[in-house]
Structure 1
Amino acid sequence: MKQHKRIAVLVEGEWGPRPSKTLTGVLRYRAHDVVTVIESGYAGQDAAEVLGLEGATPIPVVADLAAALEHEPDALLLADEPVGSAVDPYWREQVLTALESGLDVVSGLHYQFADDAEAVAAAARTGARIQDVRRPPHELYFTDFAADGRPVVHYREHRAGSHTVLAVGTDCSSGKMTTMLELRRAALGRGLAPGFVATGQVGMMISGGGVAVDGVMSDFVNSVVEQVVFDAAQEHDLVLVEGQGALNHPRYSAVTLGLLHGARPDSLVLCHDLRRESVGLLPGHSLPSVRRVIEINEQAARWVWPDDACRVAGISVMSRGLPDDEARDAIDRLEQETGLPATDVLRYGADRLLDAVLPPR
């Protein structure tokens, strides 16, 4: 994905009251590689302006793939986040047309275009490539065998001097990827060389690496995460791991726990949407208090690593839609209730959180 420098983003039908998370993330952190966005309802407008992304490069919105081809893209990126594994017929048609036009296709869907015979044939005719970001990493499922024939997975301690930070949340879609990317930006601003480990399809599309843990077979989530985080810690003193889901979310708790135990973090950052009262997709399931979520995440970390003092070091909030005074008051209350530094990294910067997660020198 890093090699693509002229990306067309397909978002048709996904630009609703809350625009595509994929589109927002890609335009916020990789706008320099995007040449156009496809959404017929917003054709003729500037994507960055519509999304309210200050300082972002102007990016034209066009009505269809034919118009997008006039901008000479080298890839079509699918900005869709369906809950299931089916693919919309219109989107599949656009993928086939893109492949027939010689464009690579980058997909974060659970649907695997690399297993779609018609898509594979279209790609073969033009030399285009299909990149299914959520492709299960089968090569990481294999482990060495010990002398007694039993498979071995080593949970190795990270390199001395490295420090791993994992984002956890009170809910899904609570800013975990954004928080880690903003912490990375703040660290780079201080002359540090942090590593960012993407664990979801959007983070992978932005960074060009990582692993989509919700596409990993459940038995291997912990070991796959352990491997990618261990590798990052070999190269970086500060490793920032994108989180997924929430331990208190009935649908997504499993992937969160696998990340928590596999990443073996030294500290955690809790992400929280100030306006949310119930967990995503389950309006009848109320959110626990922030203090309770902190408690269960710290306890869960100690289930596997009882001797490690992994703690929540700070709170990253989403205050979108709140006036500045209300946002600041809510942040102050959280700090008083928890004794932890809190901020909205997009409104007020990530420096306070970076100070909290960096180990003392």
Structure 2
Amino acid sequence: MDRKIVILTEGHSNPHTAKTGCCVIRYRGDEVLAVIDSTQEGKPVSSCLGVGEDLLFISSLSQAPQANTLLIGIAPPGGKVPESWRPIILEAIEKGMNVVSGLHDFISDDTEFADAASQQEVELIDVRKNNMTEIARRPGFREDCFRIHT
């Protein structure tokens, strides 16, 4: 299935907090339909994010009925889903959309989201979640090795 992504940045549409959304627009822009931020509705996405010249901000999921994926496009302090976004995420799940998150708090561990996703048979994808528990290791530099820190 081709991904048709709507990015959620509600109230956080700037290149610093919406860096996840910016990168997806930059490198997967052909899969992005729109960006949800009701405070910027109707504006070109590039006016706030610096990328996405052909995309517009929309205020709700109903404005992108062909979308099949909701991407959480911000990296908020603390790595948690903003409480005001929960209804939007639940609406996406109820519409049969997969939800992709790069947050530090895993949406798949949230029982409300997980139960709704199970009922709708959609995926909650936490891109940071993996089974890697060991940090990369390598031999140290020789003590007499000249190093420049930049």
- Following superposition, the deviation at residue 306 of structure 1 comes to 2.9
- Following superposition, the deviation at residue 16 of structure 1 comes to 4.4
Residues 210-359 of structure 1: pairs in structure 2 closer than 5 A: 220-222=134-136, 262=137, 304-306=140-142
User: 1:20 and 2:14 equivalent?
Assistant: no
Q: TM-score, normalised by structure 1?
A: 0.37
Q: Which protein has greater RCO, CA pairs closer than 8 Å, 6+ apart? A: 2
Identity of aligned residues (%): 32
- Following superposition, the deviation at residue 59 of structure 1 comes to 1.1
Secondary structure at the counterpart of residue 15 of structure 1: coil
Aligned-partner Cα distance in 2 for 1:311–1:23 = 36
Q: TM-score, normalised by structure 2?
A: 0.83
- Amino acid in the other structure paired with 1:11: T
User: 1:101 and 2:95 equivalent?
Assistant: yes
Aligned to 1:88: 82
CA shift in 2, pair 1:62/1:108, >3 Å? same
CA shift in 2, pair 1:118/1:62, >3 Å? same
Q: In structure 1, list runs of 5 or more residues that go unmatched.
A: 142-219, 223-261, 265-302, 316-361
- Following superposition, the deviation at residue 311 of structure 1 comes to 7.1
Structure with the largest fraction of helix: 1
CA RMSD of aligned residues (A): 2.7
Aligned to 1:62: 58
CA shift in 2, pair 1:45/1:310, >3 Å? farther
Aligned-partner Cα distance in 1 for 2:118–2:50 = 39
- Segments of 4+ in structure 1 off by > 6 A? 309-312
Corresponding pairs, count: 148
Query: Given the alignment, which residue of 103, 118, 122 partners 1:124?
Result: 118
Secondary structure at the counterpart of residue 118 of structure 1: helix
- Following superposition, the deviation at residue 116 of structure 1 comes to 1.4
Q: In structure 2, list runs of 5 or more residues that go unmatched.
A: none
User: 1:40 and 2:38 equivalent?
Assistant: yes
Query: Given the alignment, which residue of 3, 6, 9 partners 1:8?
Result: 6
CA shift in 2, pair 1:92/1:221, >3 Å? farther
